[in-house]
Amino acid sequence: MSVVLDACAMLAALRGEPGAQVVRHLLRENRGACYAHSLNVCEVFYGICRERGLPTAQRAVRVLAGFGIAFREDMDQLFWEDIGLLKATNRVSLADAVCLGLARWLGADLYTSDHHEFDAIASTAGCQIRFIR
């Protein structure tokens, strides 16, 4: 099974927040099939950079890579048009639209803790959205 993690799921794993055990289990069970878009990794990076500084943010990205998360940089025209359509027709942030688009593109399940963004679109997302908490 392929999985896509959003920034909230990656942060939960890094910080040991509720749901971290779900993410860590996914990473163990799906080694080589766990993905995150580079834009979502950037969300993790800038959040930690603001809170704890550049060296800690850089270390966090290395830890994510060490967990076995493959960072994807998909952004060809078909991909960004799909993202644009998701953003235009749903109340979702651009970064979350990218995460959702990647999950759809890969035929993967999307893992998140962000009910605020994903509850409203879960039934029409075009992929399975699973909440870690």
- Domain parsing of the chain, residue ranges: 3-125
Tens of pLDDT, residues 57-114: 999 999 999 999 999 999 999 999 999 999 999 999 999 999 999 999 999 999 999 9
CATH of 3-125, one of 3.40.50.1010, 1.10.10.10, 3.40.50.970, 3.30.70.330: 3.40.50.1010
Instruction: Output DSSP code: residue 126.
Output: S
pTM confidence score: 0.95
Q: What is the pLDDT of residue 28?
A: 93
Element (H or E) spanning 37, and its range? strand 34-37
Tens of pLDDT, residues 42-57: 999 999 999 999 999 9
Quote the mean pLDDT of the chain.
96
Paired strand residues for 129:
110
